[in-house]
Amino acid sequence: MPFEIARVYYILPGDGEPRGFHAHRALEQLMICVAGSCRIDLDRGAGRVEHRLKCPDEALFVGTMTWREIHDLSPDAVLLVLASHHFDEADYIRDYDAFLAEATIAHGG
């Protein structure tokens, strides 16, 4: 593990709408689709990279200052998220343009 786990939670398909659409300044996460499948798009400010999780032996590390979007959760999906910090609303960046401005500074661009 690249960090000490402070919080564990699950993301379920719910109403079928995509999830995420935010970045974190300090939080790191490890995402594991323990059932079903999903697509996770990550963006560090220089374009999006698509990742598909479809089995429980795959994990996706999501570092700081990374915009994340969770799409295509299958009806049986259970996305396990291991987080480096407890919930802190101040750590969230929920506006993509604000994220791009901060990411440019954070990633030295």
| pLDDT value for 30 | 98
| pLDDT value for 79 | 97
- DSSP secondary structure string for all residues of 11-41: E--TTS--EEEEEESS--EEEEEEES-EEEE
Catalytic residues: 22
Domains and CATH numbers, the chain: 7-106 (2.60.120.10)
Q: Is the pTM of this model over 0.85?
A: yes
| pLDDT value for 2 | 87
Query: pLDDT under 50 in the chain at which residues?
Result: none
